[in-house]
A and B are shown apart, each in its own frame.
Chain A
Amino acid sequence: MPASSDPPMDEQVVVTATLPAGVALHARPAADLVRAASRLPVPVTVAANGKRANARSILEVLALGAIGGTELTLIASGPGADDAVRTLAEVVASLGA
């Protein structure tokens, strides 16, 4: 991927990340994701199973009902969005490790 400058304010950055097999977004993995999202400078939306969640909200993330192997879509916009979604995608891939 080429070095990218921050996108314009309204432009969304979207990446996908797949939950490791056998790692559902239940209690501890979901909390790990929320803690990582809380450290990011921009809010990230997680979409899966036709639902969307604020990645900083444990209850919304739990309500996604995402089981192991589910592809999550991570969405952010504005300055820092690119780094934020890529950081969170790495966290998703490493959950349960």
Chain B
Amino acid sequence: MSPRPEAPRRPKLLIVDDGDRYVELAHALLRDYDYATRCSLPGPCWSCPARRGCTLTHAHDAREADAALAQHPDVDVVLLDVAFDVPEARLLPSTERDLARRQRLQGIAILAHLRRARGDLPVILMTSEAELAYEDAAEALAVDEFVTLAGEAAFDARALSLLIERVLARRRDAPASGGYAWGTTPAMARLRRDATTLARTSLPMLLVGETGTGKSALAERVIHPATQRRGPFVAVDLSALPESLVAAELFGTARGAFSGAVDRPGRFEQASGGTLLLDEIGNLSPELQRTLLLVLQDARVTRLGESSPRPVDVKLLAATNTDLDDAVRRGAFRADLLARLHPAARLRLPPLRERSADLPELARAFVQRAFAAGPDRALLARYLELARLAPPTHAPTEPPHADLALGRPPPGPVRGVLFVLATASLRALAAHPFSGNVRELELLLRTAAVSALSDALTALESRPPDTRATPPLPSARKPTPLDPARVIPLPARLIRELLAAAPPMPASPPHSLSAPAQNAILDTPRMPFSTPAHTFRIRPGDTAHAVAADLERQLYERLYTESNGDFTVMAKALLTGDATKNARRVRLRFNQLGLRVRKRG
């Protein structure tokens, strides 16, 4: 469905520089890129009437870089200056007393700061080894595989452009492109080839596979980038929407279409120019199947309450874990709609049991990803700092990094923290049915790694500060193979307990809330140590899943506080059955929600 030619998305650059030299150069000579500005006016800056004196063109310090990245999460490459001649108050906090040195190396500190949130964001440091006095930052830069020194290309527009293209190509061609763990089985190799080939066409694509096989991730991280379309990736989980709201959500509304309706574009319009994923398409009602068929035929949508259709240009992806052929035979799904979804070229994602050879690679990728961003990355950073495996936050700083070894740690230097999974545990994982497929495996490994790290951190925090470093600070700054603090085993007992306690992954949990609300009363009648009802705050989010996770996080926080951190008591409030096993399940979920165990008291 593509009435207009698809314009490839232009790479987006964020410039972080205390001055305006780089941005002036880029706007004058590098106009093939989009720029992450801090303003809301449409670009580009060089044709903006308000450009004179504008300071929103780029980020001038770490705080503004955070703001720009929050406004532009789709930044492809950061161009980062190293020296920042800014007042001390605008520098990142540091234990370094020499203000001039802090300013001279502030870019390295900003790099470490960015790494805490975005571990794999390509960064080009606008400097050379000689200019940087390389030894000052060599350690931090040597362990960062996503940083590149511009060298003499820093102010050479043509060379800089080539460097940016090389960085982009390297990321595009990386084996785990987009963070999708492919493995090596023939079925996955076929899937990868077909997905990237079909992505470049205008045809709709149908992704089929059991729950948890990675359909949404494939759509967002692989297919959408491979389309090279400039518009956004938009996903709708049709199983998570009340049936009465699906039409409004997909096609939009006009003011007055129904009581309370406002002018609002639907997901088709939001995704125009980009990619739209309709997840669990088997849940679509017969009436909406007919409407969707018309949209696919005409490449136009009509908002509820309007009569004039609007053109849309989306790459449509549909995903399902149900057998649509069978649904057609039963009369539950329209044959003509299935035909439109290009069933001959459907992409089948194999269940985990058909790709057990990929288990080691998947396990490693999932542990790396667990600490690549978010609260668990902060936890890892805290551990590295407390164990004095990384110096305090003044530059240079070792970026938090986690990896997984099977059996025993390999010889040679260890970067960051290395989790070790026993061979027996790998065998236990291979023998487990994993009805929730790779999603269940990822959650289990993330929980095991975060639990083990959390335990190691708790043990470290309970020791007097002067006994935490092993070995002491001066020799601990370089990665050493023998440093025991860098190696954290994933206990076999923990893996066994998680496998035994892991609940089957639900395909789609039932939903009962029918309308957004700012506050809701959720009844918690089996809580033995509290009043039976609590108020929870509902914060609207990007996805229904994010909103639900936020609510669940509030519940767990509340229970954790009221039970004084006793997971057995929490388990009794939440689950029926064996309290000991349930306590492990509750702790598993607690960790999955990004919550952290605190000392009791």
Do A and B bind? no
